[in-house]
């Protein structure tokens, strides 16, 4: 079991091959302090998602280790890892059910007040209250009740409620209007506060605010630094 963590993450000389002889990552070393935000950028196929896959233990490294607070994640239970490493995917996952259930997902112990507090913190409360039945409004997995921006805010509320020390975010590329964009930026700031975060970043504003921008190229780190340094 992974004990309660601060959120230090280290990739130690990671090599990873999905197929033998074709490395997707070719020796990645990266140390991230608790609370730091990392933006992963790079061309398609450069290895961004693969880094995330290893951190979530969807795969194990071919060589090297991934450590969280010094614990090799291969040695901990998936359940204890998943409770402290959260992920918000690009196709923000909405299931058929009420808005409340969608935010509460994975935190069944959360009260209605907890749900609303999380929604308010990421500025989702106002649009939810305008829906026909507020938090009890039923949404469909592929329904059109919610805009892309609203879906994103819901997934932020869910992540905030889950409260993982390490948060992984695959930023949506869908185009959204400027006002929603601003709201999402603010919500993101709230969500990342005090957490270690890895963001596959598509928005310039996100990249600009990251503590460390890691530029990947063909499975290697080409350069890294903050926005002023690069
Ligand atoms: P994108 O911006 O398109 O999402 P990415 O930076 O996330 O790209 P990865 O998905 O990490 O890139 O892919 C890195 C390399 O691994 C690529 O060469 C890709 O073809 C290969 N790859 C990714 N997933 C698999 C898989 N499931 N099986 C085999 N090869 C894969
Ligand atoms: Mg990817």
For 181-196, the pLDDT digits (tens) are 888 889 999 999 999 9
Q: Whose CA is nearest to atom 3 of ligand 1?
A: 44
Rounded to whole angstroms, the Cα distance separating 205 from 181 reads 10
In this structure, the residue with its CA closest to atom 27 of ligand 1 is: 18
21-46 burial, b for 16+ CB within 10 Å, e for fewer? eebbbbebebebeebbbbbbbbeeeb
Q: Whose CA is nearest to atom 10 of ligand 1?
A: 49
Cβ proximity of 200 and 170 under 8 Å: yes
What's the confidence (pLDDT) of residue 179?
A: 82
The pTM score is 0.92
Among 45, 61, 91, which residue has the most ligand 1 atoms within 8 Å of its CB, making it the best to mutate? 45
Going along the chain from its start, the domains and CATH numbers come out as 9-225 (3.40.50.300)
Our mutation pick for probing the ligand 1 site, out of 39, 47, 170, 222, counting the most ligand atoms within 8 A of Cβ, is 47
Contacts 24+ apart (CB under 8 A), 13-21: 13/63, 13/64, 13/65, 14/54, 14/61, 14/63, 14/64, 14/65, 14/66, 15/61, 15/62, 15/63, 15/64, 16/50, 16/54, 16/59, 16/61, 16/62, 16/63, 16/219, 17/62, 18/50, 18/59
Closest residue by CA, ligand 1 atom 17: 45
pLDDT, tens digit, 9 for 90 and up, residues 33-92: 999 999 999 999 999 999 999 999 999 999 999 999 999 999 999 999 999 999 998 777
């Amino acid at each position: 079991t992974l004990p309660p963590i601060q959120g230090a993450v280290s990739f130690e000389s990671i090599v990873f091959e999905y197929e033998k002889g074709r490395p997707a990552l070719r020796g990645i070393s990266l140390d991230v302090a608790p609370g730091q935000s990392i933006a992963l950028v790079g061309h398609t196929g450069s290895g961004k998602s693969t880094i995330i896959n290893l951190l979530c233990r969807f795969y194990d490294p071919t060589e090297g280790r991934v450590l969280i607070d010094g614990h090799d994640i291969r040695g901990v239970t998936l359940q204890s890892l998943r409770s402290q490493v959260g992920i918000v995917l690009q196709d923000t996952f909405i299931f058929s059910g009420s808005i409340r259930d969608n935010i509460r997902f994975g935190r069944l112990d959360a009260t209605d007040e907890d749900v609303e507090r999380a929604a308010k913190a990421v500025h989702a409360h106002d649009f939810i209250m305008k829906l026909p039945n507020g938090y009890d409004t039923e949404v469909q997995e592929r329904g059109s009740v919610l805009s892309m921006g609203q879906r994103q805010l819901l997934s932020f509320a869910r992540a905030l409620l889950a409260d993982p020390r390490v948060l992984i975010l695959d930023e949506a590329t869908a185009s959204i209007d400027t006002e929603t964009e601003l709201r999402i930026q603010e919500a993101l700031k709230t969500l990342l506060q005090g957490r270690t975060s890895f963001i596959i970043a598509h928005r310039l504003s996100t990249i600009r605010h990251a503590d460390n921008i890691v530029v990947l190229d063909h499975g290697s780190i080409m350069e890294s630094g903050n926005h002023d340094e690069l």
